[in-house]
Every structure is written in structure tokens, then in C-alpha cells.
Amino acid sequence: MADKKPDIKNIRNLGIIAHIDAGKTTTTEGILYRTGLSHKIGAVHEGETTTDWMAQERERGITIVAASVTCFWKGNQINIIDTPGHIDFTVEVERSLRVLDGACVVFDGKMGVESQSETVWRQADKYGVPRICFINKINQTGGDFYKSLESIHQRLSKRAFPVHLPIGFEQSINGIVDLVEMKSYTYTDFHDKELVVGEVPADMLDQAKKYRSLLIENAVAEDEAMLEKYFEVGEEGLSVDEIKQAIRTAVLSGRFFAVTGGDGRGVIVEKVLDMVNDYLPSPLDIGSNWGTHPKTGDEIERKPDDSEPFAALAFKITSDPFVGKLAYFRVYSGKITAGSYVLNSSTGDKERVGRIVRLHADKRDEVQEVGAGDIAAIVGLKGTTTGHTLSDVTNPIVLESIEFPEPPVSIAIEPKTKSDQEKMSIALQRLAEEDPTFRVRVDDETGQTVISGMGELHLEILVDRMKREFNVEANIGQPQVAYRETIRKDGVEAEGKFVRQSGGRGQYGHVWLRLSQNEKGAGFEFINSIKGGVVPSEYIPAVRKGIEESLNGGIIAGYPVVDIKVELYDGSFHEVDSNEMAFSIAGSMGIQAGVKAANPTLLEPVMKVVVVTPEEFMGDVIGDLNSKRGRIEAMEDLPNGIKQITSFVPLGEMFGYTTNLRSTTQGRASSSMELDHYADVPGHVADAIIAKNSQS
């Protein structure tokens, strides 16, 4: 079946997204079992799942890399990506949402909306991905469909409406009422092979009618023609197909969210699959993709059609021990055949397509051809990395790439033995190819290799992978914070003059710079205001290069300088002695003097920290956060005497926090954190950091 090319209208590219531990992987396992791809439902805690196939994932019971699986349901091909919930692996969610058409957001029915639920919801908003919601675990003690629905309304969107209501409560749940068809679908045991269709239970009839009216009234509001008909004939005058069409139109608008609930392991997952088929978009619904011509910059349209020129986005690279480099890609237009050539429009290089494989987590089916709207992987591309566009050789196009956050945590790493040095370099390079939020650099002053990532767990996993996959043992240093430098004074003017006379031809470069603050997050901006050739145009790139090199190396404490505008407005040159190198040095001297005079300050990453704790430990948790220079933003009551505390704390104070929190709360509290913003470091802390760096 995998070799048969599906009709594009029957393809669904689906992401499963959620907070950590909400049950994404279990739900995916349920889907694979129900669609016949696996013979049993793998349990996360037993390390048997299909999509969590890495050793580290199975040991820790968490998802680390987004795994892609293709399955079939009622004539539709569903390409599923099961994404991680942990914030350290947020890149996997980001790049998956960039290429997906729809998402199923899974919520823990005992907890409702959690901190990371909000993060993935915002990411889906950013990429305009239509969603359905699945409230999982409502059959467990403390599970409550209606309370979870209320938390979605309070924290995410008021426009989330059930299409199914659960029958029963907690352990007595045994099915759902379908509000569109007004039928019940029940089971005796959640392992049942199929659902039993019946009448709506009498004691639920009034409630079902109320929720059905709400559902239809809000769904038709997104479609003018359907709204008119609704006013004419009323709710009872609409057929089941018309109601489904209205819900589909509303979901595709991105402003309406269809909700169901149940146990992700059970037969009820079949109703989630029906919702994917009925309400989530095919590539045809998403429509044309726009890109630019790599040479002219002109806008180009690509329709989701096999007859269009080929265009695809590589969204993930992995190293496979058996086949080498695998590039996951999403085809937006045209088709690609094994053995053909494609253009990497992002680099300008031609690449040969070796083999094309359809993915089933870490297993693969080879296919000869993949068409518009589909997701697959190519074996053997050499120069392609995440975010690159692959296109037809004669019709180049560059699609919008994927932006990734700067990693805020760094550690020094060295091989345990000299013989491991080369192996470590290769391993780090491979891992950096796979993960755009993992950076490797060599510190010029100390000669140390420094790796940077999104958090302690992220780096811990990468070092562990290096040991297991590449057989490299390494020693690692203490985690370091990725501070930044910036200025707080505008209009500062500074001179950079480099003159050297040493017999024969000399060196002469002379510039005047004007420094001012740039907007937060805007980075470095260079403005050339030279008039009358006082600095010849051929030397201006050299001035910029000298400035950039100094800014990257840091001025007051060795950290990159960000959010700064530098205007080159005057200078002078010497007919004989001036050259590019002299002007590069002059630019460097000018910027160093300018930054020191422009009220320089250190910036530190501030994390949004969300702690979920039993009420009895709340005082200790808040006291601890306050002692770490934390600012408490909000406190909320969750069910069963649980409190949720949201705060903003500098990253430098948060290393080892998870372990510390566990011991303070007898292992009953949990926390998650994500980078929120950069803020000025208080004076006394900044002085200590600068002093420490000047000594080292």
C-alpha cells in the first residue's frame, strides 16, 4: 500500500503536539495499532513504543526527536509526526509545525492546559496550523473532560467546542456521544476491536442537545452561505454532511477548534482518526505556497499539484548508522523520483536523489516517487541541512526557511583520551547538522570546545548520544550562561585611527562612528553615511568586518554585543598607505572605544519558569524562587489542591533547579522552563561576571 501514490485530497499531514506527559506518544501508539501498523500498543514506561525509538527516549520515558510515521485510515494517508513536549526540544515542534497542515493537541485530562500546552499552541498559531483537541486520560482518577475544556477556554481559546461528549465519569467512561450524528459509540473494554453504535443515553439527551446547538451555531458562523441556510432552516434543517462541512470550514479558518476526549490507548482513538479525516486540511485546502527566485528575488507561486515544477523543504536531518544521512522533506509542488537530480536552491548546488523512503519511525519503506503534499526522506544528500529548499533544476525557488532561537546554555567539553579528539569533532559536527539549536565553537583564548543548547537536559542528551552512537567518552564542565552585551546610550561618537609607519609602505585607516541602541532583538545594523569619498567605497566592507568581529568577540566581558546600530559617517584615507586591513583595524578600534563610552551593560537570559506543586510546599517554592532573583508573575489553583506558580528567573540561577525542587517537595512538584527574554544584569552581579572573565 505504501508504494501506491495517494490522491492529494486524501493526504493529511498531522502533528501530535502537547505538554510533556500529556500522552502524545501513547495516543500515536493507539493510532498505529488501530490503523494496523503495529500489532500491540507499546507502553512508554516499558520502553516499547514505536515513535520513541532512541535508547534515551525509552530510558527516560520522554520524546526527544520528532518521529515521522505514515499510516492509512478509511482511504486517507496520514503522515503523523509525534513531537516532544519538553521545552529543551522545542526545535522539533517548531520545524514540524512549519511543514504540517494540521495538528492534534493532546491535553492531560487530569491537569487541563499546562505551561507547555500554551507554548505549542502559540507555535501552532505562529504557523497558522488548524487544530483539533484531544483531552486524554479522562478515564483516570482525577480526569475531567469538562474542567479541562474550561481551562482551554480560559487559557487558549473560547472557540473550542466538543464534537463528542464522554459517556460516564473517570473509570466508568465507556464511550462517547457524537453530537453531529446524535448517536452513541460505546465499548465494554477499551481494547475492544470496534465501537458499538447506539442511541444517546436518556440521561444525557438534554446535555447533548445543548452542546450540539452551541457547536452548530458557532461552526456555521465561519461560512456565510451556511449561516444563511442555518437562519432559514434552523439546526434541524441541516444534514449531517452539511454540519460536518460547516465544522471543517470553521476548523480550517484556524479560529475554531473541535474537541473530543477519551483514553489514547483505546478504541476511541478511531473517533480521533475520523476527526482528522473529516475536519483537518489536506494540502489542497492549504493551497499555494509562495517563495522567491534565488537570483532575482521575484515572488513565485507553487500550487499543490504534481504537474507543477518540483519544490520541497528539508525540515530535519538525521544520521542513520545503517544508511547514512537522512533528509526529511515536505513536497509542496511537483514530484520527485529516486535517482533524479534536484537543485538545493539555498546553496545553489545540484544534489543526486539516491533512495526515497517513507518513514515508520526508525523503520523505512522504499518508494520510487513522492508527489505534492507528501512527506518522506531522501538518503544520501550531501550539502542539504534543515531549512534548505530543494527544487527543480530548471525552475529554482527558495521557500521560507525556519527560524530557530539562539541557545542560552553552554558547557565546555573535552575528549577523555587524545585518541578520541578527532572522533569527538566528527560526532559534534554530525549532531549539529541534525539539530539547529545545538552549536559548537572553539574558544579562541582557551582553545576549549564549547557546546551550546536550549537547556541542561538538551546538552546532557547530546553528550549521551555522542557516547552511544559515536563511541566517544567526554568530560564536561559546569553549564555556562550565554550572556550578551549591549549599550544604553545613543548618539555616542568614536574615532578609530590606525597609523603605522615602519619603513617603506605604511598602514593608514581612519573612521568616525556613531553608535545608538537598536530595537530589542534587532541585532547589529550597519549604516554607511559616507559622502564625497572621504572613505573610499572599496574599504567600507573592511570597516564593517572589523566592527562585526569586535562585536562578536565582546567588548566588556567577552560576550557578543547585540541590538546596536553603528553609523560610519566620516573618516580619511591615505593615497598610498591605506588598505583593507588598516580600515578593518580602524573599525575595530572605533567600535571598542564607542561601546565603552556608550554605557555598556550585560544582558542575561531570563527564563519563564512554571512550577506545579502541592499547596503545602507553595511557601518553600516561592521563597526559593525569590532567593534566585525570581519575579513571581502569577499563581493559579489547579484541581486536587495543586498550585501553579509562574515566575521569571535569570537562567544563571536555575542550574540544577529540577533536582533541588524534587528534594524540597519530596518529589511531588514538577517544573518547566523556557527562554522568555534577555534583561539587564544588576550592577553587582555584572561586576562579578566581568571580574571573573577578566581573570580567566
Query: DSSP states of 75-138 as a string?
Result: TEEEEEEE---SGGGHHHHHHHHHH-SEEEEEEETTTBS-HHHHHHHHHHHHTT--EEEEEE-T
Does residue 44 register a pLDDT over 70? Answer: no
SS3 246: helix
pLDDT of residue 275: 92
Higher pLDDT, 566 or 316: 566
Domain membership flag for residue 578: yes
pLDDT of residue 366: 85
Does residue 61 register a pLDDT over 60? Answer: no
Instruction: Find which of 228-242, 496-510, 595-609 is predicted with most confidence, using mean pLDDT.
Output: 595-609
Same domain flag for 683 and 615:
yes
CB distance 76 to 374 below 8 Å: no
Q: Give tens-digit pLDDT for 651-678.
A: 888 887 877 887 888 777 877 777 888 9
* CA 168/CA 204 separation, integer angstroms: 10
690: its cell numbers: 566581568
207: its cell numbers: 446535555
* Amino acid code (one letter) for 382: K
Question: What sections of 309-455 are H helices per DSSP?
Answer: 420-434
pLDDT of residue 646: 92
* Amino acid code (one letter) for 374: D
The 8-class DSSP code of residue 171 comes to G
384: its cell numbers: 542539504
- If you average pLDDT over residues 258-278, what whole number do you get? 86
Same domain flag for 443 and 473:
yes
Domain membership flag for residue 404: no
Q: Domain residues for 431?
A: 409-480
Same domain flag for 609 and 515:
no
* CA 126/CA 96 separation, integer angstroms: 13
Q: Name the E strands within 353-426.
A: 355-360, 363-367, 369-371, 375-379, 389-391, 398-399, 409-415
What CATH number does the domain containing 548 carry?
A: 3.30.230.10
CB distance 310 to 335 below 8 Å: yes
SS3 658: helix
**Residue after which a domain boundary falls, among 368, 399, 430:** 399
**Residue after which a domain boundary falls, among 399, 420, 448:** 399
| Of residues 55, 490, 486, 24, the one with CA closest to residue 272 | 24
Same domain flag for 469 and 594:
no
pLDDT of residue 5: 66
| Of residues 673, 666, 671, 567, the one with CA closest to residue 617 | 666
pLDDT of residue 379: 86
The proportion of the chain whose per-residue pLDDT surpasses 90, expressed as a percent, equals: 35
Same domain flag for 345 and 228:
no
Same domain flag for 450 and 493:
no
* CA 168/CA 170 separation, integer angstroms: 7
Order of all β-strands in the sheet with 398-399: 299-302, 289-292, 398-399
Q: Give tens-digit pLDDT for 446-482.
A: 677 888 887 777 788 788 878 877 888 888 887 778 8
Burial classification of residue 516, based on how many CB atoms lie within 10 Å of its CB (0-12 exposed, 13-18 middle, 19 or more buried): middle
Domain membership flag for residue 1: no
Angle between helical axes of 240-252 and 224-233 (0-180°, round to 10): 140
Q: Is the dihedral of CA 9, 13, 18, 22 positive or negative?
A: positive
Does residue 258 register a pLDDT over 90? Answer: yes
3-state helix, strand, coil in the chain (%, to 5): 30, 35, 35
Lowest mean pLDDT segment, chosen from 310-319, 452-461, 597-606: 452-461
* CA 81/CA 376 separation, integer angstroms: 11
Domain membership flag for residue 284: no
| Of residues 464, 468, 463, 458, the one with CA closest to residue 436 | 458
Confidence of residue 629 (pLDDT cuts 50, 70, 90): very high
pLDDT of residue 216: 92
Domain membership flag for residue 539: yes
Domain membership flag for residue 432: yes
pLDDT of residue 95: 65
CB distance 456 to 479 below 8 Å: yes
Higher pLDDT, 55 or 350: 350
Phi, psi of 73 (to 5 degrees): -145, 115
SS3 345: coil
Does residue 514 register a pLDDT over 70? Answer: yes
The proportion of the chain whose per-residue pLDDT surpasses 70, expressed as a percent, equals: 88
pLDDT of residue 52: 36
Confidence of residue 60 (pLDDT cuts 50, 70, 90): very low
Same domain flag for 369 and 509:
no
- If you average pLDDT over residues 313-338, what whole number do you get? 82
SS3 335: strand
Q: Give tens-digit pLDDT for 181-238.
A: 999 998 887 666 778 899 999 999 999 999 999 999 999 988 888 888 888 888 888 8
pLDDT of residue 243: 92
* CA 97/CA 127 separation, integer angstroms: 7
Higher pLDDT, 248 or 67: 248
**Residue after which a domain boundary falls, among 480, 511, 528:** 480
Q: Give me the number of domains the chain comprises.
A: 5
276: its cell numbers: 482528522
Q: How many CA atoms lie within 13 A of 561 on its CB side?
A: 31
Same domain flag for 542 and 688:
no
Same domain flag for 50 and 154:
yes
* CA 638/CA 613 separation, integer angstroms: 10
359, β-bridge pairs = 364
Cell 529554482 found at: 396
Confidence of residue 90 (pLDDT cuts 50, 70, 90): low
Question: What sections of 488-579 are H helices per DSSP?
Answer: 540-553
What CATH number does the domain containing 371 carry?
A: 2.40.30.10
357, β-bridge pairs = 366, 377
pLDDT of residue 2: 44
What CATH number does the domain containing 686 carry?
A: 3.30.70.240
- If you average pLDDT over residues 426-440, what whole number do you get? 82
pLDDT of residue 32: 76
Same domain flag for 364 and 414:
no
* CA 569/CA 587 separation, integer angstroms: 12
The 8-class DSSP code of residue 395 comes to B
Higher pLDDT, 640 or 194: 194
* CA 558/CA 553 separation, integer angstroms: 6
Chain-wide mean pLDDT for the chain? 83
Confidence of residue 487 (pLDDT cuts 50, 70, 90): very high
Domain membership flag for residue 415: yes
Domain membership flag for residue 3: no
Higher pLDDT, 236 or 591: 591
Same domain flag for 475 and 532:
no
pLDDT of residue 67: 54
Same domain flag for 616 and 542:
no
- If you average pLDDT over residues 409-417, what whole number do you get? 83
pLDDT of residue 321: 62
Instruction: Find which of 104-118, 537-551, 604-618 is predicted with most confidence, using mean pLDDT.
Output: 537-551
What CATH number does the domain containing 444 carry?
A: 3.30.70.870
* CA 469/CA 419 separation, integer angstroms: 17
| Of residues 405, 399, 322, 391, the one with CA closest to residue 363 | 322
